Structure 1
Amino acid sequence: MLPALGHLRGPLPQTGSMRHSLRLLSEESAEERAGSSFARRQYGRLLLLEILRTYAGTARMSGTAFAVRFRAAAGVPPHAYLTRWRMLLARRALAHDEVTVAALATQLGYGSESSFSHAFKREVGEPPLRYRTRGEHQN
């Protein structure tokens, strides 16, 4: 629902913080330092938050109105959409990557391996490690 391209205009109050987040994200992406991967995820999240705040403010839409319009457009509430997207990424990673469940939980924004595992089992029907070892989803 967000535009593919955005333009930062000077007079918007959020422009400064978005430019700052973009600068920090760019600096972390320029060279691989200890913790860069973590920093990029965090700066990316902050940037997304600023974009969503600006977009929702520009559209003059409350959080509730956004959720209603999102559900009408996507067929599911925003949180359910996000969970399904995360589980799609998790299934792909478990099928094709050697990432640990703990690392995957962190990459997908879960606070703990346990919370990720519970969400995965609720959405997919089995725990992540069983999904990986079962292997029927692999070619």
Structure 2
Amino acid sequence: MLALAGARCHLTGKLSASGRWALRFPARGRLKIIAVRRGSCTFTSGGRSGELRSGEAIAVNGAHPFVLRTDADVLPLDAETMTVPDHRIGTADEFSGIGGEVTVEAGGEALLVRALPPLMHISVAHPQASALDWLLRELDAEMGHDRPGHSFTRDQLAQLLLVQILRAYLARPNALPAGRLRILADPRLAPAARALHENPAHTWRLGELARLAAMSRTGFAARFRAVAGVPPLTYLTEWRMRIAAYELTHHDTSVGELSSRVGYTSESAFITAFKRAFGKTPLQHRRARPGPGPREGC
């Protein structure tokens, strides 16, 4: 799913602060991660608030602005006016935090960003906290030293930070909105969902999927729709189309070969399904793919 969304987590900077402070981050429509290496502060976003302590992280989906602060009486500074990557407030390092932002390719918002709640908080009590703490220490070390390979290493660690955030929420399915991530987190439905993902070309039947979930057909269909937001075979069609769109954008696979790869015995049936999903034919989608360009900044 991360690959199909083209999701990449990029480090946006480091914040060192002391004393009384507050920062306001705008709603940018992108998934943003703030992780604390040392110290603590409070966070507020979309009506939710809480304490963010050392070894913890929050991720916001960009639908609402959010504020980090140590004092409710301090007027927040606009974080976007702090143009340097390493922000500093005050003279000491009582607080140290790392920021990251997730970019996705066209269509990736539906696969990833909209499948997440507006705000996620990973606390020190969470089972993923120890892995998160290790990542934060490594990121802190890489951002503080100009060692060989530091840029490459930071990119990989940032991607692992995104994975740990997602793993934390897959362990709490009720915290996720209906969609692809929640169905992977559902212990009853996950075996069937994984089978659909791993073998989209198979001619799946409702009864076959229900057996994988050890449920009746009726019970499986009802639960799948409630958790995924769509019926099982609609979910399969959408997944096939996402795979096809990715292949058309990133590879030169022929339309005939691709139609077979995603489970269509007829090339014309595949073209019809693709046009229904994206409003254009597979070849039109391929011709519209962007050419190579500079890496997007953060």
| Shorter-chain TM-score tier | 0.5 to 0.7
For residues 85-113 of structure 1, give each alpha carbon's deviation from its aligned partner in whole angstroms, at most 9, with x where no partner exists: 01110011000111000000000000111
Question: What is the TM-score when the length of structure 1 is the normalising length?
Answer: 0.59
Task: Report the identity percentage.
Answer: 43
Task: Identify, as 1 or 2, the structure richer in strand.
Answer: 2
The separation in 2 between residues aligned to 1:89 and 1:128, in whole angstroms, is 12
Q: Which has the higher helix share?
A: 1
- The answer to whether the aligner puts 1:52 opposite 2:240 as a matched pair is no
- Aligned partner (choices 264, 280, 290) of residue 126 of structure 1: 280
1:2 to 186, 190, 212: 190
1:89 matched residue in structure 2? 243
Q: Pairwise CA RMSD of aligned residues?
A: 3.0
Q: CA deviation at 1:134?
A: 1.5
Report 1:70-109 matches (<5 A): 70-109=224-263
Residue number in structure 1 paired with 2:268: 114
CA distance in 2, matches of 1:45, 1:106: 10
With over 3 angstroms needed to count, the CA separation of the structure-2 counterparts of 1:69 and 1:138, relative to structure 1, is farther
Report if the CA contact (8 A) 1:94-1:131 is conserved: yes
Change (3 A) 1:80 1:65: same
Q: Runs of 4+ in structure 1 displaced over 4 angstroms?
A: 48-51
Flag the structure with more relative contact order, 1 or 2, with Cα contacts below 8 A and sequence separation at least 6. Answer: 2
The one-letter amino acid of 1:68's match is A
CA distance in 2, matches of 1:64, 1:110: 26
Q: 1:121 aligns to what SS in structure 2?
A: helix
Q: Which has the larger radius of gyration?
A: 2
Secondary structure in structure 2 of the residue aligned to 1:102: helix
Q: What letter is aligned with 1:2?
A: A
Distance 1:92 1:51 in 2: 27
Q: 1:138 to 1:95 in 2, by over 3 A?
A: farther
Q: Find the aligned partners of 1:137 and 1:2 in 2 and give their Cα distance.
A: 37
2:274–2:280 contact (8 Å) kept in structure 1:
yes
Flag structure 1 segments of 5+ consecutive residues without an equivalent: 5-40
Deviation at 1:45, TM superposition (A): 4.0
Q: In 2 relative to 1, CA 109–128 (structure 1 residues): closer, same or farther, beyond 3 Å? A: same
